């Protein structure tokens, strides 16, 4: 166990350092609040280190207890030679560290720190505070000072409210990017009439550029049918119009637009066409197709 730890640590530490360094480089480029994240990640890392250290300390406590027991047994059995063996085994590095961290009085010397109190046979030892604990106490004080200065006095770090705003802004961006990809997923089965000004303005410019030549600037018709009346050859629902525009009627001279316009463009221009309904432009072409009545449901 001891040997394994000794072998793992020198490998683990540089690995951690290198990987966190690489990660830091990658993050710093993109994230303006990199140092705040580093700070909170540092806290997580420190916690992990403390837990691991506590675990190792426990293991060693166990080890020491076993050894003490060993010595006792050998003494009782009068096996002096074995006793020497045990004592000869040089104190390992981790044991020394452990002793320094705990500053515990050896079991044999406990009498020296025993207090006079006797609580129904339970006695109290006057051990000094373990240095690891005292160190942590001072570290937390230092941490609090740095924390106060960074977040509250200088205001260099964002407050919780600011952090919330930042994350909401990031999420907003992500949602917009997502919706932009979603807009192109629209097709003739799920198209709904768009009514927002931006989409309709986009639809108008697409119409003026691509459709007006055949359907007239105002939709009055020309080579193509009148788009302002309620007569439709291929159906007057937004989904029907979407489908006509997308797949066209090639044999009748209406192009399939799906190779030239993306789905959201088709959606916008189809919605724009719907706004022409009932506008009665001059020179309107005679009605073609059937009178379309919106489904009453």
Query: Residues in the site for ligand HEC, rule: CB under 6 A?
Result: 210-211, 213-215, 223-225, 232-234, 241, 244-245, 249, 252-255, 257, 269, 273, 288-289
Q: How far apart are CA 194 and CA 227, in angstroms?
A: 17
Retrieve residue 259's tokens. Answer: 């190779």
Q: Which is nearest to 130 in space by CA: 100, 91, 95?
A: 100
Q: How far apart are CA 189 and CA 39, in angstroms?
A: 50
Q: How far apart are CA 95 and CA 59, in angstroms?
A: 11
Min separation Cβ 295 and ligand HEC, Å? 16
- For ligand HEC, give the closer residue by CB, 202 or 225: 225
Min separation Cβ 273 and ligand HEC, Å? 6
- For ligand HEC, give the closer residue by CB, 168 or 213: 213
- For ligand HEC, give the closer residue by CB, 98 or 225: 225
- For ligand HEC, give the closer residue by CB, 183 or 212: 212
- For ligand HEC, give the closer residue by CB, 32 or 250: 250
Retrieve residue 234's tokens. Answer: 């291929």
- For ligand HEC, give the closer residue by CB, 94 or 221: 221
- Cross-strand pairs, 291: 231
Min separation Cβ 183 and ligand HEC, Å? 17
Min separation Cβ 23 and ligand HEC, Å? 49
Beta strands in 40-179 (DSSP E): 114-119, 122-125
Q: DSSP for 208-233?
A: HHHTHHHH-TTS--SSSPPSSSSEES
- For ligand HEC, give the closer residue by CB, 112 or 192: 192
Min separation Cβ 37 and ligand HEC, Å? 48
Phi and psi at 147, nearest 5°, equal -60, -50
Say if CB 269 and CB 219 are below 8 A apart: no
285: three-class secondary structure by DSSP:
coil
Min separation Cβ 235 and ligand HEC, Å? 6
CA angle centred on 286, ends 285 and 289, rounded to 5°: 115
Min separation Cβ 154 and ligand HEC, Å? 58
Q: Which residues make Cβ contacts (< 8 Å) with residue 34, sequence separation at least 6?
A: 24, 27, 28
Phi and psi at 291, nearest 5°, equal -65, 125
- For ligand HEC, give the closer residue by CB, 98 or 257: 257
């Amino acid at each position: 166990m001891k040997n394994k730890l000794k072998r793992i640590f020198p490998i683990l530490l540089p690995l951690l350092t290198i990987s966190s360094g690489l990660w830091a480089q990658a993050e710093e480029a993109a994230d303006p609040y990199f140092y705040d994240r580093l700070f909170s990640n540092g806290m997580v890392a420190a916690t992990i280190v403390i837990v691991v250290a506590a675990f190792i300390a426990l293991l060693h406590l166990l080890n020491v207890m076993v050894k003490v027991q060993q010595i006792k047994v050998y003494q009782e059995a009068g096996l002096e030679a074995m006793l020497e063996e045990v004592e000869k085994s040089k104190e390992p590095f981790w044991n020394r560290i452990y002793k320094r961290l705990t500053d515990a009085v050896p079991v044999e010397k406990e009498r020296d720190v025993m207090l006079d109190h006797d609580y129904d046979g339970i006695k109290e030892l006057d051990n000094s505070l373990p240095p690891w604990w005292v160190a942590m106490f001072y570290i937390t004080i230092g941490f609090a000072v740095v924390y106060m200065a960074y977040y509250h006095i200088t205001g260099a770090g964002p407050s919780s409210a600011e952090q919330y705003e930042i994350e909401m802004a990031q999420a907003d961006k992500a949602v917009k990017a997502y919706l932009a990809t979603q807009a192109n997923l629209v097709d003739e089965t799920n198209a709904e009439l768009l009514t927002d000004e931006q989409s309709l303005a986009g639809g108008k410019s697409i119409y003026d550029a691509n459709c007006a030549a055949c359907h007239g600037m105002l939709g009055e018709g020309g080579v193509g049918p009148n788009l302002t009346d309620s007569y439709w050859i291929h159906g007057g629902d937004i989904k029907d119009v979407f489908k006509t525009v997308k797949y066209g009627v090639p044999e009748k001279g209406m192009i399939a637009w799906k190779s030239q316009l993306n789905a959201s463009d088709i959606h916008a221009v189809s919605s724009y066409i719907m706004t022409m309904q009932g506008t009665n432009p001059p020179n309107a072409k005679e009605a073609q197709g059937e009178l379309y009545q919106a489904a009453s449901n």
